[in-house]
Structure 1
Amino acid sequence: MKKLTNLLDFNSDDELFDYIISTLKLKGITQWDYFVKWEKVHNNIEPHEVELNILNVLIGKENIKEELTKLILQYPKVVNVIPILLAIRFKTKKEQKINIVSDLKTFQYDHFDLSIKAPNQQEAESISTFFMGCGLGDLIKDKRVKNLVDYATGVEVGLDSNGRKNRGGHQMENAVEFYINEVCQELNLSYLKEANATAIKSAWGIELAVDKSSRRLDYVINNNGKLYFFEVNFYNSGGSKLKSTATEYVNMNQYWNAQNIEFIWITDGAGWLSAVLPLREYFDKAEYLLNLEMLKNGILKKLI
């Protein structure tokens, strides 16, 4: 019988596993900071507010192309905010040189360079042509937006939504850390987050043999030299990733156990309902498989 089974007073390992499955957080763990990282949005907009406000003078004008050309020549930095209005992130200067197909029959291209810092008349006209061609000209001519700072803020919110997948993982880590921190404070223990062998040696002087130099543990608790390694994840939906993770953690558990380190996998989510078999395989080969309900009920303090 497993240590965890005895610790929680279950009659059998099967009963414990059934409990783990039956107490998964099927409604998710969404917290308020999941939706938008507002600080990031505002930080991305603030450096460009002046240029965006300069472009505001174009709103409602008839000859946008002509007026924008004048603005570019007088305030060249307004070119920098055009990609923001189109929800584009340029990583290199080369990417700022854009080729647009002008004729599908012959595949002729028009070339536009948004990397120019001090455009001349011809270059300014070219950038204005790009502005009109991509639809921004009509957007502001027809007054479909009233303020480009507000519009750009909305664009940044949309771009920020791409980070929700990563934030979902961080929300599980934050939930687990709440309980780890609580227990460590109560027991006067120390812990590390996202720790590798170097960090562990630096903090506690403990040498580890690692399977790969890049290996990082989500959390590590030190109880008077006895180490507890934690891996943490949450799966809202199923897929091949769940099976591969379970297999990887079987090997990881054996590797750390061989160094007298307790390996604890904390996972949750409705995704496991479609991947019960690989989760059971891990459960049968390892001592510790926890979910959030078990943390809520104080299992960490009993375990450590």
Structure 2
Amino acid sequence: MKKLTTLLNFSSDNELFDYIISTLKLKGITQWDYFVKWEKVHNNIKPYEVELNILNVLIGKENIEEELTNLILQYPKVVNIIPLLLAIRFKNKAEQKINILTDLKTFEYDHFDLSIKVPNKLEAENIASFFVGCGLGDLVKDKKVKNLVDYATGVEVGLDSNGRKNRGGHQMEDAVEVYIKEVCDELNLSYLKEANAKAIKNAWNIDITLDKSSRRLDYVINKNGNLYFFEVNFYNGGGSKLKSTATEYVNMNQYWNNQNIYFVWITDGAGWLSAILPLREYFDKAEYLLNLEMLKNGILKSLLINE
């Protein structure tokens, strides 16, 4: 019988597993900051506000290419905001080149360099041509936008939505940390967040061997030299990832146990309803499987006191 089964006063491991499944947070854990990181959006816009306002003079003009060429020659920094207006993130800001296929039969390309700091007239004309060719010219010419600062803010909101998957993971980590911090404070224990072997060595002078050089543990608690490793995740939807994660954690549990380290997997979400068998496989082979409801009911404190 599992230690958790005894700690929670269940009569069997099957009853414990049924409890875990029945108390999954099916409504998710979405919090207000999940949708948009507004501070990040505004911080990304602020460095370009002057250039965006300079480009506002193009709105409603007829000859956008000529007007923009002159603007670029007067204010070269306006070139920096063209990728932003197109929702492009260049990995290397010093190398912002775009090739446009212009003929499908001959595979000829036009080449545009948006990283030029001080364009000459020919380079400015080329960049202006790109601005018109990609559709931004008609956008401002036809007054489809009234203010490029507002438009760019909307673009940043769209780009920020790509980070929602990561934010979902961070929200689960933040939710779990509330309980970890509370218990550690109460029991006078120390913990680390996103810790690797070096951080553990520096904090507690304990050596561990990692299965991957890049491995970072979501949380680590030190109880009188005994380490508890925590992996934390939340799945709103199903998919093959859940099965592979469960299999990985079976191996991870054994790996840490072989080093006399306790491994605790805290997971939750409606996604597990479509992957009960992989979760059950982990449950049968590992000692500690927790969800948020169990944390709410104080299981973490019981686990640390009685282990």
Q: TM-score range by the shorter chain?
A: over 0.9
- The alpha carbon displacement at 1:146 in A equals 1.1
Over 3 Å counting, the alpha-carbon distance change for 1:210 and 1:65 in structure 2 is closer
Partner SS state of residue 106, structure 2: coil
Q: Which range is displaced more, 239-248 or 174-183?
A: 239-248
Residue identity matched to 2:86: L
Output the CA distance in 1 between the equivalents of 2:164 and 2:200.
30
2:149 pairs with 1:146: no
Residue 273 (structure 2) aligns with: 273
Partner SS state of residue 44, structure 1: helix
Partner SS state of residue 87, structure 1: coil
Q: Which range is displaced more, 247-256 or 167-176?
A: 247-256
Residue identity matched to 2:20: I
Partner SS state of residue 208, structure 1: coil
Residue 231 (structure 1) aligns with: 231
Q: 1:140-179 alignment to 2 at 5 Å?
A: 140-179=140-179
2:95 pairs with 1:99: no
Output the CA distance in 1 between the equivalents of 2:111 and 2:213.
46
For structure 1, list consecutive stretches of 5 or more residues without a partner in the other structure. none
Output the CA distance in 2 between the equivalents of 1:234 and 1:242.
10
Q: 1:42-53 alignment to 2 at 5 Å?
A: 42-53=42-53
- The alpha carbon displacement at 1:214 in A equals 2.4
Residue 30 (structure 1) aligns with: 30
Partner SS state of residue 24, structure 1: coil
Partner SS state of residue 214, structure 1: coil
Partner SS state of residue 273, structure 2: helix
Residue 301 (structure 1) aligns with: 301
Q: 1:112-261 alignment to 2 at 5 Å?
A: 112-261=112-261
- The alpha carbon displacement at 1:111 in A equals 2.2
- The alpha carbon displacement at 1:99 in A equals 2.1
1:242-276 CA deviation, whole Å, 9 max, x = no partner? 11111111122122222322111000111111111
Partner SS state of residue 254, structure 2: helix
Output the CA distance in 2 between the equivalents of 1:195 and 1:99.
42
- The alpha carbon displacement at 1:277 in A equals 0.8
For structure 2, list consecutive stretches of 5 or more residues without a partner in the other structure. none
Residue identity matched to 2:7: L
Residue 21 (structure 2) aligns with: 21
Residue 41 (structure 1) aligns with: 41
Partner SS state of residue 232, structure 1: strand
- The alpha carbon displacement at 1:95 in A equals 5.5
Partner SS state of residue 227, structure 1: strand
Over 3 Å counting, the alpha-carbon distance change for 1:115 and 1:23 in structure 2 is same
Q: How many residues align?
A: 304
- The alpha carbon displacement at 1:238 in A equals 1.4
Partner SS state of residue 210, structure 2: coil
Over 3 Å counting, the alpha-carbon distance change for 1:46 and 1:279 in structure 2 is same
Q: 1:37-116 alignment to 2 at 5 Å?
A: 37-92=37-92, 96-116=96-116
Alignment root-mean-square deviation, CA: 1.4
Output the CA distance in 2 between the equivalents of 1:245 and 1:162.
22
Partner SS state of residue 238, structure 1: coil
- The alpha carbon displacement at 1:224 in A equals 1.6
Sequence identity percentage: 86
Output the CA distance in 2 between the equivalents of 1:80 and 1:213.
38
Over 3 Å counting, the alpha-carbon distance change for 1:246 and 1:76 in structure 2 is same
Output the CA distance in 2 between the equivalents of 1:145 and 1:270.
41
Partner SS state of residue 265, structure 1: strand
Output the CA distance in 2 between the equivalents of 1:114 and 1:250.
49
1:153-179 CA deviation, whole Å, 9 max, x = no partner? 110110111111111111111111111
Partner SS state of residue 206, structure 1: coil
Residue identity matched to 1:255: Y
